[in-house]
Amino acid sequence: MDVSTAADTADLAFNAETTLKRDTFDHFDEAEDEVEKKSRDAVIFLLDVSNVEALFTPETPPAGTDGQEGLDGGGEGGSRATRRPCINNILNTVANLMRSKIIGRPEDMTGLILYNTTGADSNPMELAGVTVVQDLQQPTASRIRDILDMSSALDRAEFDRRWRKGPPTISCAFALHNALWVASNLVGSAIFREGRL
């Protein structure tokens, strides 16, 4: 075999091996794309409401901001910094994440659970100290509006009326335990309802 024939044979073998690897990797890429199309994320916000004083303590906006609220339209405008209660900022963050899910991955699901509530427990498992504000579902404009409306209308009196109807009936740690059980149940129900998560 002369040198040129050996080189041609080596080139053919290299090209065949490269083509085989490319086909294999293409198969993995296609399988990965298929799995990505079928998968969805589920985000459940667990909000501890045991320290009501901290939830309603006004927060100072970060340095360099002018106090405007951004996308929710709730800002006063102007250059005066606005101090809003922590719970309002938390609820606006939840709404903003829901907005980003609608834009980026509309098949994803979100939910909101409050724990360490008293006398207003509302959850599918009827566990003490847990209130499901929003079930695990795909975010929609009306669900986002509900969160923003709650944020704008929620003051200490409204909070107490909705979720503080008496003294705590269980410990904070046990309420977290119950909240995790309820969250797990919501995920299981979503898998059953949707056939996948």
Same-domain check for residues 122 and 69: yes
Read off the CATH number of the domain in which 79 is found.
3.40.50.410
Bridge partners (DSSP) listed for residue 44: 111
pLDDT average, residue stretch 165-183: 89
Same-domain check for residues 25 and 62: no
Domain range for 4: 1-38
Same-domain check for residues 60 and 149: yes
Same-domain check for residues 31 and 47: no
Same-domain check for residues 89 and 14: no
3-state per-residue secondary structure call for 109-143: EEEEEEECCECCCECCCCCCCEEEEEEEECCCHHH
Same-domain check for residues 33 and 44: no
pLDDT of residue 100 exceeding 80: yes
pLDDT in tens, 176-185: 999 999 999 9
pLDDT of residue 78 exceeding 60: no
Q: What is the pTM of this model?
A: 0.70
pLDDT at 163: 87
Which range is least confidently modeled, 8-17, 99-108, 119-128?
Answer: 8-17
